A and B are shown apart, each in its own frame.
Chain A
């Protein structure tokens, strides 16, 4: 790694292999990925579908465990952890932002934001205070009691960010956060992520859109389950070039496919 190493990286992965059995055939989703993310970094993980980026995201998010390799999240070795311990890690150390927003539709915005704190055992009053602060921060202070059916896609995703933020996690993990948004909402959302990055938050974002990846401080490109490029962000041109080399379609073509 060419990066400055600080005492404990947020993500420390070594030789992560994940294999699935497809009938009789063993399929390698990741073939020995090693990745280190320091506190305060904003990393975009890119790649085509089938490149292993979803598998990597599930492992980073402690939703899945690797077949072999070592993974430490904020200093905690997540191998050999049981369901209960993994739940706690997800609750305390990770804030998820999903492509499909994944709010619970039967609950109002503020209740959605309060939910992870409820699971963490935060008291009701404190929970409400922190949820209010988080929703104000994402600019939805006036939409507290709206249900997700009453919110636009961009607004729903901002509720999801408030939900991810309020437990003060070590890592914000975003899986195609702009995948279901129009370009204007995408830009607003990415401004929000940039703001969080400026505040010193650690963000890992999976995306296949080069113009979204431009907001990151570092871009990792996957291909066939392995890292083919890992560079600090300099310009959009650089990203496009790397993508072209990895076989990913160019910016305009991606948009056309959507």
Chain B
């Protein structure tokens, strides 16, 4: 044991004897380890932001769009292929669709909202009060649009926090103020709490109004909806709700589920797809980092081979005065492990440091597993890259090594 311990100090001295070369070798491992940590942090950060933006869509929701999923069906087969109030009524029936909690018709447009000479371009969503629940909006002040607003075609709106801060000075109360949307005036009745920026789109740059008022004033006389937002009763029965929605719409339109002129998208499946693609992305980044670690490992091996050659005579002396093979082997192994371990430690710090900065719009999130992983790999690199040179040193015959000039 004390022999191993003494060996450790011997190895450290060996490293110190050519510190510039040691530093450059360590740099290879450092960069490798740091890039493992940073690239995995970027991968984790971007996948978290994707997940967050999808979760903010509402987790138990289905979205029904016009148009077939396959896109190949011709229009002649389809009668009555628009989403209208009849579809909403049919889907809201608890007999046919027991797993559907609510159905919100959605009419969307993008408009400039003006107040007191200030304009702000925002998306305007015409819907019902159930839309806010399904989309996870909460009202921070005032009230949400109501069923009677919808029935009465009331020109009232709930505004998102981005709209509020763009149009109104801090401190002033937007409630009750008249905002011009297009050519019509709408009264603000509620403020929506911020959902936070989720990377993909600003969920707070939104104005929500009764769909009836939006159809009257903004999108013309059409009675159809751009989409229906269906909230399921729970995430576990969402696929049941999906098939209920599909069969209800099929019977309503006198067609079969397979030739349905609508597309039903499940937010959970979007999440799954996005998660798997971001996992692929993270894995790809991980592989790139692994390649740079491999280059670092080759550097360590190269330097250890040079060191063994340079110190052939020293190895000969050590063997002549009684160093066993295993002693020489561990001496050089410890040396390469110390180099790669120090490089690894510095790489962890460099990686953590770089991960604090936003890179290409992505806020890296340190993956907790990446640090032990990178350090573990760094030490293994030391063992693997050091083994062959160390073995070569240990296998030298003392007379050959002593004769080496």
Contacts of B399 in A (CB 8 A): 58, 63-64
The number of chain A residues touching the other chain, given as a range, is 20 to 34
A192–B143 alpha-carbon span in the complex (Å): 106
Whole-angstrom distance between the Cβ of A126 and the nearest chain B Cβ: 11
Whether the Cβ atoms of A115 and B325 lie closer than 8 Å is: no
Contacts of A42 in B (CB 8 A): none
Whether the Cβ atoms of A120 and B322 lie closer than 8 Å is: yes
Task: State whether A63 and B325 are in contact (beta carbons under 8 Å apart), knowing that A115-B318, A119-B3, A123-B2 are contacts in the complex.
Answer: no
Instruction: Give chain B interface residues in 299-353, CB to chain A under 8 Å.
Output: 313-314, 316-325, 327
Instruction: Give chain B interface residues in 363-405, CB to chain A under 8 Å.
Output: 398-399, 402
Whole-angstrom distance between the Cβ of B47 and the nearest chain A Cβ: 50
Whether the Cβ atoms of B317 and A106 lie closer than 8 Å is: no
A58–B397 alpha-carbon span in the complex (Å): 12
Contacts of A120 in B (CB 8 A): 322
**B171 interface hit (Cβ, 8 Å):** no
Whether the Cβ atoms of A119 and B323 lie closer than 8 Å is: yes
- Contact count A vs B, C-beta below 8 Å: 64
Whether the Cβ atoms of B321 and A116 lie closer than 8 Å is: yes
Whole-angstrom distance between the Cβ of B9 and the nearest chain A Cβ: 10
> 1/0 per position for B25-55, CB-CB distance to A under 8 A?
0000000000000000000000000000000
Whether the Cβ atoms of B2 and A119 lie closer than 8 Å is: no
Instruction: Give chain A interface residues in 95-123, CB to chain B under 8 Å.
Output: 96, 98, 102-104, 106-107, 115-116, 118-121, 123
**B199 interface hit (Cβ, 8 Å):** no
Q: Which of B14, B327, B398 contacts A119 (CB 8 A)?
A: B327
Contacts of A61 in B (CB 8 A): 320
A215–B402 alpha-carbon span in the complex (Å): 27
Q: Which of A58, A106, A115 contacts B321 (CB 8 A)?
A: A115
| CB closest residue in chain A, given B1 | A121
Q: Please report the total number of B residues contacting A with Cβ < 8 Å.
A: 22
Q: Which of B14, B319, B322 has the most CB of A within 10 A?
A: B322
**A83 interface hit (Cβ, 8 Å):** yes
Instruction: Give chain B interface residues in 87-135, CB to chain A under 8 Å.
Output: none
Whether the Cβ atoms of A84 and B324 lie closer than 8 Å is: yes
Whether the Cβ atoms of A102 and B317 lie closer than 8 Å is: yes
Whether the Cβ atoms of A104 and B317 lie closer than 8 Å is: yes
A120–B314 alpha-carbon span in the complex (Å): 18
**B148 interface hit (Cβ, 8 Å):** no
Q: Which of A64, A106, A123 contacts B17 (CB 8 A)?
A: A106
Whole-angstrom distance between the Cβ of A124 and the nearest chain B Cβ: 7
Whole-angstrom distance between the Cβ of B241 and the nearest chain A Cβ: 74
A61–B399 alpha-carbon span in the complex (Å): 10
Q: Classify the interface of chain B: helix, strand, loop or mixed.
A: helix
**A152 interface hit (Cβ, 8 Å):** no
Contacts of B320 in A (CB 8 A): 61, 63, 90, 96, 98, 102
Q: Which of A58, A87, A106, A115 contacts B14 (CB 8 A)?
A: A106
| CB closest residue in chain B, given A85 | B324
Whole-angstrom distance between the Cβ of B324 and the nearest chain A Cβ: 5
Whether the Cβ atoms of B17 and A116 lie closer than 8 Å is: no
> 1/0 per position for B175-192, CB-CB distance to A under 8 A?
000000000000000000
Q: Which of B3, B314, B316, B325 contacts A87 (CB 8 A)?
A: B325
Instruction: Give chain B interface residues in 276-296, CB to chain A under 8 Å.
Output: none
**B6 interface hit (Cβ, 8 Å):** yes
Contacts of B398 in A (CB 8 A): 63, 90
Q: Which of A92, A104, A106, A121 contacts B2 (CB 8 A)?
A: A121
| CB closest residue in chain B, given A163 | B321
Whether the Cβ atoms of B322 and A92 lie closer than 8 Å is: yes
Residues of A within 8 A of B (CB): 58, 61, 63-64, 83-84, 87-88, 90-92, 96, 98, 102-104, 106-107, 115-116, 118-121, 123-124, 163, 167
Having A87-B323, A103-B317, A106-B14, one finds 7 other A-B pairs with CB under 8 Å, namely A84-B324, A87-B319, A91-B323, A104-B314, A116-B322, A118-B3, A119-B3
Q: List 27 A-B contacts (CB under 8 A).
A: A58-B399, A61-B320, A63-B320, A87-B319, A87-B322, A88-B322, A90-B319, A90-B321, A90-B322, A90-B398, A91-B322, A91-B323, A92-B322, A96-B320, A96-B321, A98-B402, A102-B316, A102-B320, A104-B314, A106-B13, A107-B13, A118-B3, A119-B318, A119-B323, A121-B3, A123-B2, A167-B322
